[in-house]
Amino acid sequence: MMRTPAIQGLRDGTPIAMGYFAVAFSLGIIAVKAGLTAPLGFISSAFTRASAGEYGTYMLIAAGATYAEIAAMCLVTNLRYMLMSAALSQKIAPGTSWVHRMLMAACITDEVFGISVAWPGYTPPAYTYAAALISTLFWASGCAMGIMAGSLLPETMVTALSMSLYGMFLAIIIPPARKDRNVLGALVVSIVLSGLAAAAPVVGEWSSGMRTVVLTILISAAAAWLKPVKDENDGAA
Amino acid sequence: MEQHSIIICIALAIVVTNLIRLIPMACIKGPIRHRFVRSFLYYVPYVTLAVMTFPDMILTPPSLTTGIAALTAGIAAAWMRLGLLPVAAICSLITYFLNSSGI
């Protein structure tokens, strides 16, 4: 009986794993700039499992940022996982052991969370584990491959591949903006202010990680104050 | 940067990222009620990713025209809900073709 959710998890996790491999490959190309070796990239990606967070971390390492900046960057770029963890806590059967609850929380990525909460009723831990296992394997190997092969590819191809990461970001943020006008508004404001901040005299001198952290907190707080969310049970992003 | 400090940076990223995943699960017994906190957490992912994407995305290729074309196509593809892999592929392919044709 326990094998059914696991097999289903592997099946649902496979297309995610394919996408992860491609995106992680371009992440690996960026990780090279931060001085990561393939084994280090594999370990880093296997245990962090966060596209935007890893991207931000590698960019900061490459720029020689401080530990505080890296911690702040990880906190802000991954803050959505807090919301997902909170939402997933509602999908675990009462009486499930503390170990399972913690392990399921550790499995969270945008996509693994997405399919886990889509499970009808309480999500079996095995389903989440199986999907996380296969997708993490491809994510980590993709990153390691990007680190190894990235330097062999011609410059035009490396540039093109590094654009895939931004494409993935767009695929995450644009569809919800179609459904929610407030999200659309927040995105437009973010793009305008981010462009202005990068060109501005003093703020433009800050590291891009610092600008990301400050802009995210300011814009999200303003949006939360001006346009608070309505439904109690509509927490999941 | 030296090798040992890269390892500290990565260890830091691993610890912070996973604490973010674990803390709410460990603490939350029921749904979050505080409206501002819920709203703030709701907007954070979109704002962060938007800020990280722009202007960096259009500055990555050698020409601004290529960057703007890839961004526009990516937004259009994402708007049509093509999914993670197709949108990423479209941005890459457009950049590759415009870039290698010297635009």
The pLDDT value recorded for residue A135 is: 94
DSSP character string of A149-201: HTTTS-HHHHHHHHHHHHHHHHHHHHHHHHH-HHHHHHHHHHHHHHHHHHHST
CB contact, 8 Å: B6 with chain A? yes
Same domain, B48 and B97: yes
| Cβ under 8 Å to A: B residues 24-83 | 24-26, 28, 31-33, 35-36, 38-57, 60-62, 70-71, 74-75, 77-79, 81-83
The type of residue at A81 is Y
Residues B24 and B48 in one domain: no
Kindly state whether residues B47 and B77 are assigned to the same domain. yes
Residues B55 and B23 in one domain: no
- In chain A, where are the structural domains located? 3-168
Within its chain, how far is the Cα of A70 from the centroid? Answer: 15
Does residue B17 belong to any structural domain of this protein? yes
Q: What is the CA radius of gyration of chain B?
A: 19
Q: What is the CA radius of gyration of chain A?
A: 19
Is A128 strand, coil or helix?
helix
Contacts 24+ apart (CB under 8 A), A150-159: A150/A25, A150/A28, A150/A29, A150/A32, A151/A32, A153/A29, A156/B96, A156/B99, A156/B100, A157/B96, A158/A29, A159/B60, A159/B61, A159/B62, A159/B95, A159/B96, A159/B99
**CA atoms of A131 and A115, how far apart (whole Å):** 9
Q: Are residues B71 and B26 in the same domain?
A: no
What lies within 8 Å, CB to CB, of A211 at 6+ separation is A194, A197, A198, A203, B51
Mean pLDDT by 10 residues, chain A (237 residues): 80 83 89 94 96 90 90 88 84 89 94 84 94 96 93 83 84 90 96 94 78 88 94 49
Q: Is A171 close to B79, i.e. CB distance below 8 A? A: no
Query: Looking at chain A, which residue has its C-alpha nearest residue B69?
Result: A163
In a domain, B36, yes or no: no
Domain shared by B5 and B54, yes or no: no
Looking at the domain assignment, is residue B65 inside a domain?
yes
Instruction: Kindly state whether residues B49 and B18 are assigned to the same domain.
Output: no
- Quick check: is B3 in a domain? yes
What pLDDT, on the 0 to 100 scale, is given for residue B68?
Answer: 97
Domain around B61: 42-103
Split into its structural domains, chain B has a count of 2
Same domain, B72 and B99: yes
* pTM for this model (two decimals): 0.75
Alpha helices in A91-124 (DSSP H): 98-106, 110-118
pLDDT the model gives residue B73: 97
Residues B53 and B98 reside in one and the same domain? yes
The pLDDT score that the predictor gives to residue A234 is 47
Tens of pLDDT, residue by residue over A103-153, are: 999 999 988 988 888 788 899 999 999 999 999 999 999 999 999 998 788
Query: Cα B5 vs. chain centroid, distance in angstroms?
Result: 25
